[in-house]
Chain A
Amino acid sequence: MTLKELELTAAKGRLLGLEMVYRAASGHIGGSLSAMDILTELYFEVMKVDPAQPGDPGRDRFVMSKGHCTPGLYPVLALRGYFPVEELELFRSIKGHMSGHPDMVHVKGVDMSTGSLGQGLACAGGMALAGKLDGRDYRVYALMGDGEIEEGEIWEAAMAAAKYKLDNLCGIVDVNGLQIDGATADVMPSEPLDAKFAAFGWHVIKADGHNFESLRAAFAEAETVKGRPSVIIARTVKGKGVSFMENEAGWHGKAPNAEQYEAAHAELAAAVEKLEVE
């Protein structure tokens, strides 16, 4: 894909994510918007996957450790072709199986059920370890939040991944700087993330989480690293793409009202239109 095509795909994903949250009148829009470009880069460029064969044992795998960001993940899976876009209409609805957090049993393309924060990196580590045992060359990606990594299990998994030299594991931290109660720096300072991961034996790469060239280079670098896992510290903006949601902790897990939805929809639709013209 060209950079423009990636940007357009992500813009469509943002719009779908907003529609999902508005329709469901609940869901996590802020972190979904911050993660959208990372997810798009992964599913449309980096990962070797075939939506027609979601259970292929040789496929690359993705674990949404910050599991609440289904309005980011599900649109990308739909756009990639795992299931029809119309299925997103039953997001968080009792009438369907588009659960609020990723469900590997019912949602095609989801490689691991997540949602309880801090658990995804260990699961991804187990997948990477299985790949090593079986001599397969697939890679495993795990997307974490910078609030989420306050959970101790992340650091347990970080130690273990280094111990087992899981160079087929690539973590990404979506550093949007905000969590439910406010700025991560105030709630529980997690920085310096680069120094922390490096101290745990990981190869650290820094990237702009909203720049596809930067993301592409980061994932390419991660693939070249041998003997240890890599982590991409991706700087992002929570609520990216909707002016009044950007950098506002309040939009972590809140659905917009009708007026806010119209305004947000107009901004995101305009972005899609602009990219389509280009």
Chain B
Amino acid sequence: MEKIATRGAYGEELVKLAEEYPELVVLDADLAGATMTKGFAKAYPGRFFDMGIAEADMMGFAAGLAACGKKPFANSFAMFTAGRAWEQVRNSIAYPHLNVKCVGSHGGLSVGEDGATHQCVEDLALMSAIPGMLVLNPCDGPEMRKAVRALLEYDGPAYMRLGRMAVESVTDEVAGYEFALGKAAMLRDGTDVTLAATGLMVQRAMAAAEILAAKGVSARVLDVHTIKPLDTEAILAAAKDTGCIVTSEEHSVMGGLGSAVAAFLSETCPVPVVRHGVNDEFGRSGKALEVLEAYGLTAEVMAEKALKAMELKKG
């Protein structure tokens, strides 16, 4: 089983697709070694632009390049792509609906040792708040590779989160798995509860489903790689089929997947939705797995949330 960080798969895929998409250009803000665009920089130096530690300017340049027909991928850490440059992304890119892919690496708490200033748990919320923005958070290497190609085929503004930590591949183990923007992938079917997870919480959802199975609970696992637009069809089906939902994300419980699912279902099919994520807190330094555990972002806690959701369902 392949174990690779989504940022690694991303960097490799950019290089692989460069010939096929001659309009692809890559910008970075002095983090090419970390966002993994360094491979592209080496292979295609004429199409790589290191804009220095100036994310706002990078987004403006990307907007101008897109206005002239290029397909720019602008890279930094999630904190700076979605946070520092938020207003440039909104006004220079999204408002005129320009074809810029804003990529935020090192999303979530699993940045680890660098601590709270670099652990962005608000990026999905920030980017989802912008009209017309496509927001992606692929869970593993194989899914990331498909997402990069899909983004190159998609004409419009988008944000995609990459992770720092190596994660095991799960999507390539699932028969019938297909990737399409805006379509959640069902990785495991179940009848008692749905675990709707995104990013590296998808692997934990698969483990949580095993824990639940041992207790006689049948859990569906949805890999929600597209936060916006939300796959309302899959969420509605999950609500109807399983009667309760746990959302799980390496992100604040406010403004990301949990909020989107809860908001949608409250207006269409009100079933219990229990949100699993970061509870309105900043992160802190530690080894990635230790930090995730400290904040309860584990399969075990997710399984507990599932049991709670099932209790709520009983009324």
Contacts and interface: CB of A to CB of B under 8 A. Distances in A.
B68 A134 contact: yes
Interface stretch (B9-17, B91-99, B201-209, B290-298): B91-99
Interface stretch (A27-35, A121-129, A256-264): A121-129
A28 B253 CA distance: 42
Contacts of B56: 118-119, 122, 152-153, 156
Given A159-B54, A160-B52, A129 B61 contact: yes
A119 B88 contact: yes
B60 interface: yes
Nearest to A151: B56
B65 interface: yes
Interface in A39-76: 57, 63
Interface string A96-122: 000000011100000111111011111
B156 to A, nearest CB: 12
A157 B49 contact: no
A130 B63 contact: no
Nearest to B94: A113
Contacts of B69: 57, 130, 134
Given A129-B49, A133-B70, A156-B56, A116 B91 contact: yes
Interface in B84-111: 87-88, 91-92, 95-97
B138 to A, nearest CB: 27
A122 to B, nearest CB: 2
Interface string B8-52: 000000000000000001000000000000000000001101011
Contact of A113 (B58, B72, B92): B92
Contacts of B49: 129, 164
A125 B60 CA distance: 8
A104 B60 contact: no
B70 A156 contact: no
A112 B68 CA distance: 11
A105 B97 CA distance: 8
Contacts of A105: 96-97
A118 to B, nearest CB: 8
B92 A122 contact: yes
B97 A119 contact: no
Nearest to A157: B57
Given A113-B92, A153-B88, A160 B51 contact: yes
Contacts of B66: 126
Interface centre among B49, B68, B70, B92 (most CB of A within 10 A): B68
A131 interface: yes
B64 interface: yes
A153 B85 CA distance: 10
B51 to A, nearest CB: 6
A225 to B, nearest CB: 20
A187 B11 CA distance: 45
A118 B54 CA distance: 13
B25 A113 contact: no
B95 A128 contact: no
A126 B91 contact: no
Contacts of A120: 60
A60 to B, nearest CB: 12
Given A153-B60, A164-B49, A123 B68 contact: no
Interface of A: 57, 63, 103-105, 111-116, 118-131, 133-134, 140, 152-153, 156-157, 159-160, 163-164
7 contacts: A111-B67, A124-B64, A127-B67, A130-B68, A133-B47, A152-B56, A160-B51
Given A113-B92, A163-B52, 16 more contacts: A104-B96, A122-B58, A122-B88, A123-B92, A125-B60, A125-B64, A126-B63, A130-B67, A134-B68, A152-B56, A153-B60, A156-B54, A159-B57, A160-B57, A160-B61, A164-B49
